């Protein structure tokens, strides 16, 4: 399959708003592919070079790509800014510059068109480059790739490298397309995707082995599983009502969720983004090796930073541990961590995800040894639940989780089987899409940030507020460095950036606003913490923002 065919498909998908048409186009395309082309094609259609579970990383910044585009096209910064202002999309900006400059493609002597598998192989070679001179070598390889592209191909190569497809074709639609292409039940595709960690892997198996192959996909040690997610509720009474009059409450810790895999003597730890963080947490590795009474297991828990008395510290303290692969011994002394477990997904050759919550918890207790489990209690009484919440808050935790008795573990799903309750106004996880330089002593720093929520229908990030509050001077300096790597357009003292950085934001209330196209605006927004453990796709949606807004209106009416 030539790469241009994939680019043309993306172009068609981008131009239609009909989900059924997107699914049909994609399923027809998948059926034309060779077996080895399916996994890379599905990845690329979703805007990523490799599967989520792959440890391969391109580590190519937008700034690096811009330098390459300048060299190939001879365009100026002003021309790039004008193209981006016209399109609002980095891939389309690249195509405009390639077309306007009439870039001469470097053809091989037999003028063979660029193949889909060639693109994957080049990106794989880029990802493998490490050490001295790696950046320069990466640039040369990507420049060579883009030099072989026409404007349409260049548009989508850039989108794949940056991870910004923005065609409106999301993972859920890809699952439906895979089911249609290979004539397998969509529910089976979804379940397999949860366990495999990426729909591209599932698509390849579906093409090769059909239903039988998909049914054989389940939890397995050393292959991270998408975490089960929770919906937000306002209070204890709502949680008990949703769960049919009885629920199990657990302390909600202000830490980092981890998935610990044990296979014989080997331990690996994965973050909620399925990244391997084993080397950052050697004491947790030692603890799991020593205490987990199983030959094979997958357990879930929360790692929190603690002070010298064992009391929990804010999540920001823990980030310093997760970001470190060097000087880990020093960080162990400076920021000790503590593990508490709350679920067991796999044990000695058997998947437990379909077992009732209470049974998984009991089995977890039997193999956890001296590792603590999160505080838990089951009740049907709101007053007992409120007392438990107060105890959690006094102990320095965020609030409570409520888990429905008898419920299975559903990887990757945000449903009502798990609920979370916080006593304060629920913060939002938003993405920074722009920033402005400050004034006075902050005049050299990007210290005023545009905050955006994700529109699920389009995949775009829509601005709902702006803030200069919440970060320390050190965090602002670091944020400035990170944002400058992501700049796509500059307007005087303002920049617009790729939507990559997630932050947690509190606010006084949500208001209707004609100022932003989203129609919503945060009042008195404040960044409370950085969330590098979350990807932009996990950011809160516009639908969630509107839900909170409608809840405000409802509570005002009830209070008269």
Packed helices 35-45 and 199-215: angle between N→C axes, nearest 10 degrees:
130
Q: Which of 181-195, 211-225, 506-520 has the lowest mean pLDDT?
A: 506-520
Q: Please give the structure tokens belonging to residue 183.
A: 């004539």
pLDDT band at 329 (very low <50, low <70, confident <90, very high): confident
Q: Within a domain: residue 168?
A: no
Q: Which helix (H) or strand (E) holds 341?
A: strand 337-347
Give per-residue pLDDT as tens, 354-399. 999 999 999 999 999 999 999 999 999 999 999 999 999 888 888 8
pLDDT at 308 over 80: no
Average pLDDT estimate for 132-146: 92
The answer to whether residues 244 and 376 belong to one domain is: yes
The answer to whether residues 78 and 128 belong to one domain is: yes
**How many angstroms separate the first and last alpha carbons of the chain?**
64
The DSSP bridge pattern shows strands 509-512 and 520-523 to be antiparallel
pLDDT band at 327 (very low <50, low <70, confident <90, very high): low
Cα 307 vs. chain centroid, distance in angstroms? 29
Given 138, 155, 159, 252, which residue is catalytic? 252
The answer to whether residues 371 and 339 belong to one domain is: yes
The fraction of the chain above a pLDDT of 90, given in percent, is 56
pLDDT in the model for residue 326: 61
Bridge partners (DSSP) of residue 463 are 452
* Rounded-to-integer distance, Cα 104 and Cα 112, Å: 15
Which among 58-62, 383-387, 488-492, 505-509 has the top mean pLDDT?
383-387
pLDDT band at 107 (very low <50, low <70, confident <90, very high): very low
Contact 189, 23 (CB under 8 A): no
Residue found by looking up tokens 């961590």 in the block: 337
The answer to whether residues 407 and 445 belong to one domain is: no
Residue found by looking up tokens 């993972």 in the block: 171
CATH number for position 149: 1.10.3260.10
pLDDT in the model for residue 453: 94
The DSSP bridge pattern shows strands 509-512 and 446-454 to be unpaired
Q: Known catalytic residue: 128?
A: no
Contact 536, 431 (CB under 8 A): yes
pLDDT in the model for residue 485: 87
The answer to whether residues 382 and 252 belong to one domain is: yes
Cα 99 vs. chain centroid, distance in angstroms? 33
Instruction: Give counts: helices (H), strands (E), the chain.
Output: 20, 20
Q: Is 167 helix (H, G, I), strand (E, B) or coil?
A: coil
Residue 105 neighbours by CB distance under 10 Å: 16
* Rounded-to-integer distance, Cα 316 and Cα 243, Å: 33
pLDDT at 407 over 60: yes
Task: Considering only residues 246 and 334, tell me which one the structure prediction assigns the higher pLDDT.
Answer: 246
Q: Is 415 helix (H, G, I), strand (E, B) or coil?
A: strand
* Rounded-to-integer distance, Cα 452 and Cα 441, Å: 27
* Rounded-to-integer distance, Cα 178 and Cα 169, Å: 13
The answer to whether residues 403 and 450 belong to one domain is: no
The DSSP bridge pattern shows strands 337-347 and 372-373 to be parallel
Average pLDDT estimate for 300-326: 76
- Residues making up the annotated binding site for ATP are 250, 257, 272, 302, 342, 414, 420
Domain boundary, last residue among 421, 448, 465? 421
Q: Is 346 helix (H, G, I), strand (E, B) or coil?
A: strand
pLDDT in the model for residue 556: 58
pLDDT at 289 over 90: yes
* Rounded-to-integer distance, Cα 366 and Cα 363, Å: 5
pLDDT in the model for residue 280: 86
- Residues making up the annotated binding site are 250, 257, 272, 302, 342, 414, 420
Question: Domain range spanning residue 71?
Answer: 48-162
Give per-residue pLDDT as tens, 237-285. 999 999 999 999 999 988 889 999 999 999 999 998 888 889 889 999 9
pLDDT in the model for residue 472: 87
Average pLDDT, the chain: 89
The answer to whether residues 67 and 124 belong to one domain is: yes
The answer to whether residues 393 and 287 belong to one domain is: yes
Residue found by looking up tokens 């050759």 in the block: 349
Q: Which of 293-302, 352-361, 473-482 has the lowest mean pLDDT?
A: 473-482
Q: What burial letters (b/e) apply to 376-414, b meaning 16+ CB within 10 Å?
A: beebeeeeebeebbeebbeebbbbbbbbbeebebbbbee
Q: Which of 77-81, 179-183, 184-188, 428-432 has the lowest mean pLDDT?
A: 77-81
Q: Within a domain: residue 186?
A: no
pLDDT in the model for residue 78: 84
Cα 510 vs. chain centroid, distance in angstroms? 25
pLDDT band at 458 (very low <50, low <70, confident <90, very high): confident
Q: Within a domain: residue 143?
A: yes
pLDDT in the model for residue 555: 63
The answer to whether residues 334 and 467 belong to one domain is: no
pLDDT in the model for residue 158: 94
Q: Please give the structure tokens belonging to residue 51.
A: 């599967």
Q: Is 253 helix (H, G, I), strand (E, B) or coil?
A: coil
The answer to whether residues 412 and 434 belong to one domain is: no
CA atoms lying within 13 Å on the CB side of residue 385: 27
Q: What length is written for the chain?
A: 560
Task: Tell me which DSSP letter residue 7 carries.
Answer: H
3-state secondary structure 494-517: EEEECCCCEEEEECCEEEECCCCC
The fraction of the chain above a pLDDT of 70, given in percent, is 94
Domain boundary, last residue among 370, 392, 421? 421
pLDDT band at 325 (very low <50, low <70, confident <90, very high): low
In the chain, the number of structural domains is 3
The answer to whether residues 319 and 399 belong to one domain is: yes
Cα 75 vs. chain centroid, distance in angstroms? 33
Packed helices 171-182 and 186-196: angle between N→C axes, nearest 10 degrees:
120
Q: Within a domain: residue 22?
A: no
Give per-residue pLDDT as tens, 5-55. 999 999 999 999 899 999 999 999 999 999 999 999 999 999 999 998 888
Q: Within a domain: residue 224?
A: no
Q: What burial letters (b/e) apply to 318-327, b meaning 16+ CB within 10 Å?
A: bbebbebeee
Average pLDDT estimate for 411-434: 87
Nearest 5°: CA angle at 139, between 137 and 140? 65
Domain boundary, last residue among 162, 189, 214? 162
Q: Within a domain: residue 9?
A: no
* Rounded-to-integer distance, Cα 500 and Cα 445, Å: 19
Tell me how far CA of residue 375 lies from CA of 256, 342, 397, in angstroms. Answer: 17, 9, 11
Q: Please give the structure tokens belonging to residue 25.
A: 């186009």
Q: Within a domain: residue 174?
A: no
pLDDT band at 105 (very low <50, low <70, confident <90, very high): low
The answer to whether residues 283 and 414 belong to one domain is: yes
pLDDT band at 351 (very low <50, low <70, confident <90, very high): very high
Q: Please, which residues have CB within 8 angstroms of residue 493's CB and are 6 or more apart in sequence? A: 436, 437
CATH number for position 385: 3.30.470.30
Q: Within a domain: residue 34?
A: no
Task: Give which of 434, 487, 432 is closest to 162, Cα–Cα.
Answer: 487
């Amino acid at each position: 399959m030539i790469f241009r065919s994939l680019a043309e498909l993306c172009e068609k998908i981008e131009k239609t708003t009909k989900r059924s048409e997107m699914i049909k186009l994609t399923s027809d395309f998948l059926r034309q592919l060779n077996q080895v082309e399916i996994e890379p094609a599905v990845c690329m259609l979703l805007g990523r070079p490799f599967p989520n579970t792959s440890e391969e990383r391109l580590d190519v910044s937008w700034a690096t790509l811009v330098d390459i585009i300048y060299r190939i096209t001879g365009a100026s910064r002003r021309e790039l800014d004008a193209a981006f202002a016209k399109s609002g999309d980095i891939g389309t900006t690249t195509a405009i510059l390639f077309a306007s400059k009439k870039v001469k493609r470097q053809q091989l002597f037999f003028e063979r068109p660029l193949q889909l598998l060639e693109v994957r192989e080049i990106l794989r070679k880029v990802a493998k480059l490490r050490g001295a001179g790696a950046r320069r070598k990466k640039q040369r390889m990507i420049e060579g790739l883009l030099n072989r592209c026409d404007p349409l191909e260049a548009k989508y190569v850039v989108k794949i490298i940056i991870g910004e497809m923005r065609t409106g074709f999301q993972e859920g639609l890809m699952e439906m397309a895979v089911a249609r292409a290979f004539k397998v039940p969509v529910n089976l595709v979804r379940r397999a995707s949860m366990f495999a960690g990426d729909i591209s892997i599932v698509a390849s198996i579906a093409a090769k082995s059909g239903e039988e192959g998909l049914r054989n996909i389940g939890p397995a040690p050393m292959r991270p599983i998408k975490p089960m997610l929770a919906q937000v509720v306002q209070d204890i009474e709502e949680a008990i009502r949703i769960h049919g009059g009885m629920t199990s409450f657990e302390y909600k810790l202000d830490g980092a969720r981890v998935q610990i895999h044990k296979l014989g003597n080997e331990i690996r730890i994965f973050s909620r983004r399925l990244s391997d963080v084993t080397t950052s947490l050697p004491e947790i590795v030692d603890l799991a090796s020593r205490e987990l009474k199983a030959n094979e297991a997958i357990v879930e828990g929360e790692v929190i930073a603690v002070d010298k008395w064992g009391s929990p510290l804010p999540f920001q303290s823990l980030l310093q541990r997760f970001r470190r692969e060097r000087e880990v011994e020093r960080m162990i002394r400076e920021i000790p961590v503590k593990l508490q477990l709350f679920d067991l997904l796999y044990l000695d050759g058997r998947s437990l995800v379909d077992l009732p919550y209470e049974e998984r918890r009991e089995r977890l207790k039997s193999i956890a040894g001296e590792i603590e489990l999160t505080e838990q209690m089951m009740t049907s009484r709101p007053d007992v639940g409120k007392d438990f919440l107060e105890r959690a808050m006094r102990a320095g935790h965020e609030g409570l989780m409520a888990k429905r008795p008898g419920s299975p573990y559903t990887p990757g799903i945000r449903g009502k089987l798990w609920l979370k309750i916080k006593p304060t106004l629920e913060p939002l996880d938003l993405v920074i899409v722009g920033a402005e330089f400050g004034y006075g002593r902050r005049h050299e720093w990007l210290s005023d940030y545009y905050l955006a929520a994700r529109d699920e229908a389009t995949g775009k990030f829509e601005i709902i507020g702006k803030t200069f509050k919440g970060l320390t001077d050190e965090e602002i300096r670091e944020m400035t460095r990170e944002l400058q790597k992501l700049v796509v357009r500059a307007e005087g003292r303002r920049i617009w950036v790729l939507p990559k950085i997630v932050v947690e934001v509190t606010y006084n209330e949500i208001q209707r606003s004609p100022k932003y196209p989203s129609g919503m605006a945060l009042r008195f927004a404040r960044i409370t913490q950085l969330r590098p453990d979350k990807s932009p796709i996990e950011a809160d949606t516009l639908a969630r923002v509107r839900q909170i807004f409608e809840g405000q209106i409802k509570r005002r009416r009830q209070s008269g």
